[in-house]
Amino acid sequence: MGDDMMSYNGGVALAMKGKECVAIVCDKRYGIQNKTVATNFTKIFQYGDHCFVAFCGLATDVQTVSERLRFRTNLYELREQRKLKPLVLYNMLTNLLYERRFGPYFVYALVIGLDPKTGETYVFDSDNIGAISDNVNLATVGTASDYIFGLGELFFKPNMNADELFEATSQAFLNGVDRDSASGWGAVVYVVEKDKVTVRELKGRQD
């Protein structure tokens, strides 16, 4: 650990899909290699009523990319006079990342969204150069993603309601993160539904 740019600061995120609801969770650690510097560094950013993006990787790039994306999405909404949809957001993000194909940002991203009219849910992931994914059931990126992937597959089932989705996402995340030294210090879960977003702070191990 530490000699890889993607695990220099630590951090991890997980997204999962339910029935007319979608959840995303990230940890709160900000470290420099094996030294923990802050424990309130969340990695989830909101880009519309029903759209969220989580960035994991090098912290400086997490902030840069999130702000560059904010600039482009704001400009899109002003120019087009319409709300951002999840697929549009995802395409904007992957385009932004692929532009830097030969000098990439060191971030992996998760994009989640919900169409309030149809109830359709969206979960996408991307690597640091904008590889396009399908609309998947669950996706995870970051230092503990290898552990969380297995747990996510275990707890995921199709058509969960918002409460089931919250528990499945949280438990998969917390138990995976506990085996990773580079992420942790609690978690923040966003559950997006048609009419509301529920933000819950989770208790996690503090070491």
Partner 1 sequence: MSGIAFEQPAGGFVFDNCRRNDILLKNNVLPGKIHKTGTTIAAITYKDGVVIAADSRCTAGNIIFDDNVLKIHRLSDNIYALGAGTSADCDFQTRLLESQLELLKLNQDRQVRVATAVRKIQQHLFRYRGYIGAYLIIVGVDVTGSHIATVHPHGSIAFLPFVASGSGGYTSLSVIEDRYKENMTEDEAKQLVRDALYASTTTDLYSGSKINMFVLTKEKLDKFLPYEIVAARTEKQADYTLAKGTTEVISTNVKKIEFDIVNEKVKATGAHEAMELA
Binds partner 1 by CB under 8 A, chosen from 79, 81, 82, 103: 103
Smallest distance from partner 1 to CB 58, Å: 9
Q: Which of residues 68-87 bind partner 1 (CB under 8 A)?
A: 71-72
* Max CA pair span of the chain: 47
* Residue found under tokens 């902030």: 63
Interaction between residue 9 and partner 1 (CB under 8 A): no
Q: Which of 19, 63, 85, 100 binds partner 1 (CB under 8 A)?
A: 100
The answer to whether residue 196 forms part of the interface with partner 1 (CB under 8 A) is yes
Q: Phi/psi class of residue 186: alpha, beta or left (left: φ > 0; alpha: ψ in -120 to 50)? A: left
What span, in angstroms and rounded, lies between the C-alpha atoms of 177 and 185? 9
With binding defined as CB under 8 A, does residue 102 bind partner 1? yes
Distance separating alpha carbons of residues 44 and 29, to the nearest angstrom: 13
Phi-psi group of 130: left, alpha or beta (phi > 0 → left; psi -120 to 50 → alpha; rest → beta): left
Contacts with partner 1 by CB under 8 A lie at 3-6, 8, 49-50, 57, 71-72, 94-106, 108, 116, 125, 127-134, 136, 139, 145-146, 149, 154-155, 157, 163-164, 166-168, 170-171, 174, 186, 194-203
